[in-house]
Amino acid sequence: MESLVAKSVKLDPSFWNDKRVLLTGHTGFKGSWLSLLLARMGSEVTGLSLSPPSKPNLFELAGVQKSLSSQYIADINDYAKVKNVFLDTKPDVVIHLAAQSLVRRSYASPIETFSTNVLGTVHVLEAVRMAQPQVALFATTDKVYSQLGTRQPFRETDPLGGHDPYSASKAACEIAVESLRKSLLSEASTKVATARAGNVIGGGDWAEDRLLPDAIRAWSSGDVLTVRNPDSVRPWQHVLDCLAGYLVLVQGLWDGTVEQGAYNFGPRNGDDSTVSKTVELAQTVWGDKAQVDWQSRQVGPHESTTLLLNTDKATTTLGIEPRWTHEDAVTRTIRWYRGFYQGLAPRDLCEEDFAEFGLSK
């Protein structure tokens, strides 16, 4: 298979060789995948995170710690520890993934959500100001946009907002990054950007209240998956498409070929899908005993019915498009879990996805 589609810039493993990368949230789902990807391209990866957020988790199952140069188990709400990690490691690149990332949990824990997602991000920004890496990338979410009741895909210039605590905290995070980039970091050498990704899927995610992890928990135990809001539309994308986009953005910022600011990352325009279609495809790939209880009305706290992203900026400015379609992404995700529950090694399953994606060692 060909590598990531690229028009002007591509994911370049030679760029990442010997780069000192500080990755927050490295024990999470995306952080584990990104740690493996960076290490296989030759980066010296330092992780800064809380302990893995779920049982089971990809970080432990795939032996991600073995791929790290060093790691610090710490809370980004502890500024003294964050500052010391930055000063000790002197990173070339910072990628900030650490967050309270669950919408429904934010209703139960709003203080934790705002503290981690806003003040924690400010701690990282202040440490960036002191350590002055070449590039700092802050991952937020597609949910930072004000919900205007339209089915039009959101662009990076659309107003920020958020009905639920998680979305609002991430919108506030965007404002904090932009504010400090223009003020305290304006004369620093560090290039700063935010990445607003859609619904990221892939093998090894066991987080609570996420559609495909919920499906896998149910089906692997012979239980019925209860699906709320089957008609909701989301911009699903495979974790490798998301992470490849992040890294191409970092490369462009480093070289000065792309502007600082916000970038959407999601499926190709028009390749969004409903919850029901996503579940039905997952059922087909999983096979026997994949049972579903479809809820006919919205269940639980408020969540947006339709959320679409316009990714023209990433396509035009960065020169990239997603490698895998929605069908590809769901299929590969469920095959990963099937392999895991059949006894295959999680690290080998990740390596297979890297190879299929076109990311050679």
Residue 82: inside a domain, yes or no?
Answer: yes
Residue 36: inside a domain, yes or no?
Answer: yes
Look up the domain containing 120 and give its range: 13-205+237-270+304-325
- E strand segments, the chain: 20-24, 44-49, 70-73, 93-96, 135-139, 191-197, 199-201, 224-227, 233-234, 236-238, 261-265, 273-274, 291-294
- pLDDT classification of 102: cutoffs 50, 70, 90: confident
How many domains does the structure of the chain reveal?
1
Residue 243: inside a domain, yes or no?
Answer: yes
Phi-psi region for residue 272, left (φ > 0), alpha (ψ -120 to 50) or beta? beta
**In this predicted structure, what is the pLDDT of residue 111?**
97
Measured from the Cβ of residue 305, the count of other Cβ atoms closer than 10 Å reads 13
Residue 153: inside a domain, yes or no?
Answer: yes
Q: What is the mean pLDDT of the chain?
A: 92
Residue 5: inside a domain, yes or no?
Answer: no
CATH of the domain at 245: 3.40.50.720
- pLDDT classification of 5: cutoffs 50, 70, 90: very low
**In this predicted structure, what is the pLDDT of residue 296?**
67
**In this predicted structure, what is the pLDDT of residue 179?**
96
Residue 162: inside a domain, yes or no?
Answer: yes
Residue 296: inside a domain, yes or no?
Answer: no
Per DSSP, 119 falls in state I
Token duo for residue 1: 């298979």
**In this predicted structure, what is the pLDDT of residue 163?**
87
Q: Which single residue is written with the structure tokens 């012979």? A: 222
Tell me what the mean pLDDT of segment 196-202 comes to.
Answer: 95
Residue 340: inside a domain, yes or no?
Answer: no
List the catalytic residues.
166
Kindly give the pairing relationship between strand 273-274 and strand 233-234.
Answer: antiparallel
